Structure 1
Amino acid sequence: MNQSILFPDLQTWDAVKNVIVFPAQQSGALIECVVSKSYLENMVGSAIETEQQAIQVFQKLSFDLEEQAEELIEEEEFNLQGQIELG
């Protein structure tokens, strides 16, 4: 794991887009990362019904999700909004 990319333990639910938003920091720059509800559901193999469930699933899978986000950051795979997008 790249030590220059840090993931603070912060995540929020965006009900409009059905995504969890979580930050990454690289060389002092803040990078917004997002993971879709459907991607989380595919990872756990079951439906996510509530915001609280989505946050719990994210926390359970945070190591794997952060690893995926780290790879995308290193490859500079930003979307048009400048975010790293999983799923």
Structure 2
Amino acid sequence: MNQAIIFTDREAWDPIRHAVICTALVNGWQVHCSIQGEAIKARFGVAEQPEQFIDLFRLHRWDLEDEFEQMILNEEFDSDGWVVI
């Protein structure tokens, strides 16, 4: 685990992005991360309601945070500066 990257425990459903969003602190700077609802369903099972997507995110938090961390280290940001799975 990279101590320069710390994930908060505040995730939420973003109805515009149709994704679960979370925040990482990278050397004191906020980086917004998201995983699309379709990616959650493809990887972890059926979800239709926001609460179900968030529950699946929480069940697989450690793996997702590892993936987000690697993407941050590789500077894989979208045009808005987000890390998106």
TM-score by length of 2: 0.96
C-alpha distance after superposition, 1:3-52 (max 9, x if no partner) = 110001011101122101100001100000010011111111x3211011
Q: SS at the partner of 1:54?
A: helix
Q: Map residues 56-67 of structure 1 onto 2, 5 A cutoff.
A: 56-67=55-66
| SS of aligned partner of 2:84 | strand
Tell me how far apart the structure 2 counterparts of residues 17 and 25 of structure 1 sit (CA, whole Å).
21
Q: Which AA in structure 1 matches 2:54?
A: I
Structure 2 counterparts to residues 26-65 of structure 1, below 5 A = 26-44=26-44, 46-65=45-64
For 1:73 and 1:17, the matched residues in 2 are separated by 20
Q: How many residues align?
A: 85
Q: Which runs of 5+ in 1 are unaligned?
A: none
1:75 aligns with 2:74: yes
Q: Which letter maps to 1:82? A: G
% identical aligned pairs? 28
Matches within 5 A, 1:4-23: 4-23=4-23
Specify every segment of 5 or more residues in structure 2 that has no aligned partner in the other structure, as ranges. none
CA distance in 2, matches of 1:30, 1:17: 18
